Amino acid sequence: MEIYLVGGAVRDALMARSTAQTSHSDRDWVVVGASPQTMADAGFLPVGRDFPVFLHPQTREEHALARTERKTAPGYHGFSFHADPGVTLEEDLARRDLTINAMAVPQSDADDPPRGHLIDPYGGARDLQERVLRHVTDAFAEDPVRILRLARFAARFPDFSVAPETLALMRQMVDGGEVDHLVPERVWQELARGLMEQQPSRMLTVLRDCGALARLLPEVDRLWGVPQRAEHHPEIDTGVHLLMVLDMAARLQAPLPVRYACLGHDLGKGTTPPAEWPRHIGHEVRSARLLKGLGERLRVPLACQELADVVAREHGHIHGSGGLSPAATLRLLERCDAIRKPQRFDQALMACECDARGRLGHGERDYPQARRLADALQVVLAVDTAAIASTAMAAGLTGPRIGERIHQARVDALQALCDDA
């Protein structure tokens, strides 16, 4: 039996990416010339359900038997896998998505892949050097998830181009209805990963170039070609603005809920009647409604959905919060549920900063609204509501009257903050 290091660990080593980015947990191993019984006899523990995967008895790293695969039905789960000692390494590499992920080195060279014996039957090293994302074989077309994976890699490696023949194949897959069969969980999984990459705008650009964005995220795809008021958005096009906002989120190292909120904050502008362009009155409520449908369709985690809803509804008010009175500021905090969920409100402010700075010529500008509202929230949270309630009850007050006292104390605290500014 022969063991090979394959896939991303080899790719990243050849690209000289740091070991911090490619930990041992990210290493993939393929075993050639072995059967499940051979693996068991060597002390490996079986863990795979759909195809034979085993854990190394010491390192606990996953080792998969070399295998081929065949599409049996539409969708991600419509595959049968064939693994036996006769499957060669080249056959196993042929089923992988991109040439840069279809390279291997023997186990003996795994600690220093760049200097080891590189097995590269499909030209992955050449494509790495030329910065090209290219499919390995036409088997790429059998799994529509690979469209999403390629788009994610485009976001991870923004200086890579997509090979023309690969983009053409992706378009054929979209036209043939392949992406329509993707399960929602897998779409979200790849979308979430792509949003967290170095330049998430590339993911949307690639998906749009092949037509997949319109099928998978029609609410997002509709934003291109929709103009905004030039005095607020020098970049004009709403889709272009979205790309800039997402890349600003990456620049600020925003967590996933923030990046998802950025993705959906302006969806309502895609439904504004053209006769009303470039104004988008009421787009906030429409954005929230579209986000609800999108979140349910893709089964987006609740934390992402809830933050996106707050940002969609309130980003305009947060942008304009500099002129709010203490009472109006408190109402804004209450609508955002900031008093109960201050950490989520911090994320909402970050998403709004990405929105404000994700505009042509605004990337280096300050966003004082975030500091002002963060300070306001801290002042409100410092109000001793328990003491106020105790005093009110001692005076015979109950229910709403106690709430009024607490509300007024918070307004007074915000007024004092304004007076001190």
Q: Could you tell me the CATH number of the domain that includes residue 348?
A: 1.10.3210
pLDDT for 73 equals: 53
Question: Is residue 140 in some structural domain?
Answer: yes
The CATH number covering residue 54 comes to: 3.30.460.10
HSE-CB for 109 with a 13 A CA cutoff:
18
Position 76 pLDDT exceeds 60: no
Tell me the mean pLDDT in the region 313-334: 97
pLDDT for 69 equals: 75
Same domain, yes or no, for 17 and 114?
A: yes
Q: Which of 216, 241, 268 is the last residue of a domain?
A: 216
Same domain, yes or no, for 206 and 284?
A: no
Task: Tell me which residue range forms the domain holding 329.
Answer: 232-376
Percent of the chain at pLDDT exceeding 70: 94
Tell me the mean pLDDT in the region 135-159: 96
Position 21 pLDDT exceeds 60: no
Question: Is residue 223 in some structural domain?
Answer: no
Same domain, yes or no, for 65 and 179?
A: no
Same domain, yes or no, for 36 and 126?
A: yes
Q: Across all residues in the chain, what is the average pLDDT? A: 93
Same domain, yes or no, for 114 and 240?
A: no
Total Cβ atoms within 10 A of residue 87: 18
Same domain, yes or no, for 85 and 59?
A: yes
Position 375 pLDDT exceeds 70: yes
pLDDT for 111 equals: 84
Tokens 């009024």 sit on residue: 404
pLDDT for 238 equals: 98
Question: Is residue 113 in some structural domain?
Answer: yes
Question: Is residue 225 in some structural domain?
Answer: no
Tokens 């010529």 sit on residue: 361
pLDDT for 84 equals: 78
pTM strictly above 0.85: yes
Identify which has the larger pLDDT, 419 or 151: 151
Same domain, yes or no, for 330 and 362?
A: yes
Which residue type, as a one-letter code, is found at position 245?
V
HSE-CB for 357 with a 13 A CA cutoff:
21
Question: Is residue 272 in some structural domain?
Answer: yes
Q: Is the separation of the CB atoms in 332 and 318 below 8 Å?
A: yes
Position 23 pLDDT exceeds 50: no
Q: Which of 130, 146, 164 is the last residue of a domain?
A: 130
Position 113 pLDDT exceeds 90: no
Question: Is residue 227 in some structural domain?
Answer: no
Tell me the mean pLDDT in the region 334-356: 98
Rounded Cα gap, residues 201 and 357, in angstroms: 15
Same domain, yes or no, for 165 and 291?
A: no
pLDDT tens-digit readout, 192-248: 999 999 999 999 999 999 999 999 999 999 999 999 999 999 999 999 999 999 999
Q: Is the separation of the CB atoms in 221 and 290 below 8 Å?
A: no
Question: Is residue 224 in some structural domain?
Answer: no
Identify which has the larger pLDDT, 259 or 16: 259
Question: Is residue 239 in some structural domain?
Answer: yes
pLDDT tens-digit readout, 255-294: 999 999 999 999 999 999 999 999 999 999 999 999 999 9
Number of domains in the chain: 4
HSE-CB for 254 with a 13 A CA cutoff:
33
Lowest mean pLDDT among 21-25, 142-146, 229-233: 21-25
Q: Which of 130, 162, 181 is the last residue of a domain?
A: 130
Percent of the chain at pLDDT exceeding 90: 85
Same domain, yes or no, for 89 and 158?
A: no
Position 301 pLDDT exceeds 60: yes
pLDDT for 20 equals: 43
- Give bridge partners of residue 79 from the DSSP assignment: 71
Name the burial class of residue 399, with classes exposed (0-12), middle (13-18) and buried (19+) by CB atoms within 10 angstroms of its CB: exposed
Same domain, yes or no, for 37 and 116?
A: yes
In this prediction, residue 119 has a pLDDT band, given cuts at 50, 70 and 90, of very high
Same domain, yes or no, for 297 and 341?
A: yes
The CATH number covering residue 185 comes to: 1.10.110.30
The 3-class SS string of the chain reads: CEEEEECHHHHHHHCCCCCCCCCHHHCEEEEECCCHHHHHHCCCEECCCCCCEEECCCCCCEEEECEEEEECCCCCCCEEEEECCCCCHHHHHHCCCEHHHCCEEEHHHCCCHHHCCCECCCCHHHHHHHCEECECCHHHHHCCHHHHHHHHHHHHCCCCEECHHHHHHHHHHHHCCHHHHCCHHHHHHHHHHHHCCCCCHHHHHHHHHCCHHHHHCHHHHCCCCCECCCCCCCCCEHHHHHHHHHHHHHHCCCCHHHHHHHHHCCHHHHHCCHHHCCCCCCHHHHHHHHHHHHHHHHCCCHHHHHHHHHHHHHHHHHHCHHHCCHHHHHHHHHHCCCCCCHHHHHHHHHHHHHHHHCCCCCCCCCCHHHHHHHHHHHHHHHCCHHHHHHHHHHCCCCHHHHHHHHHHHHHHHHHHHHHHC
Identify which has the larger pLDDT, 399 or 382: 382
pLDDT for 18 equals: 45
Tokens encoding 316:
């305009």
In this prediction, residue 71 has a pLDDT band, given cuts at 50, 70 and 90, of low
Rounded Cα gap, residues 47 and 63, in angstroms: 10
Which residue type, as a one-letter code, is found at position 224?
W
pLDDT for 19 equals: 43
Tokens encoding 44:
């490996």
**Most confident of the ranges 6-10, 23-27, 105-109, 239-243:** 239-243
Position 152 pLDDT exceeds 70: yes
For 155, 214, 365, the CA distances from 248, given in Å and listed in that order, are: 13, 23, 12
pLDDT for 72 equals: 52
Q: b or e along 343-373 (b: 16 or more beta carbons within 10 Å of the residue's beta carbon)?
A: ebbebbbbbbbbbbbbbeebeeeebebbebb
Same domain, yes or no, for 294 and 367?
A: yes
HSE-CB for 421 with a 13 A CA cutoff:
12
Lowest mean pLDDT among 28-42, 81-95, 141-155, 301-315: 81-95
Question: Dihedral (C-alpha) 129, 117, 47, 44: value to the nearest 10 degrees?
Answer: -160
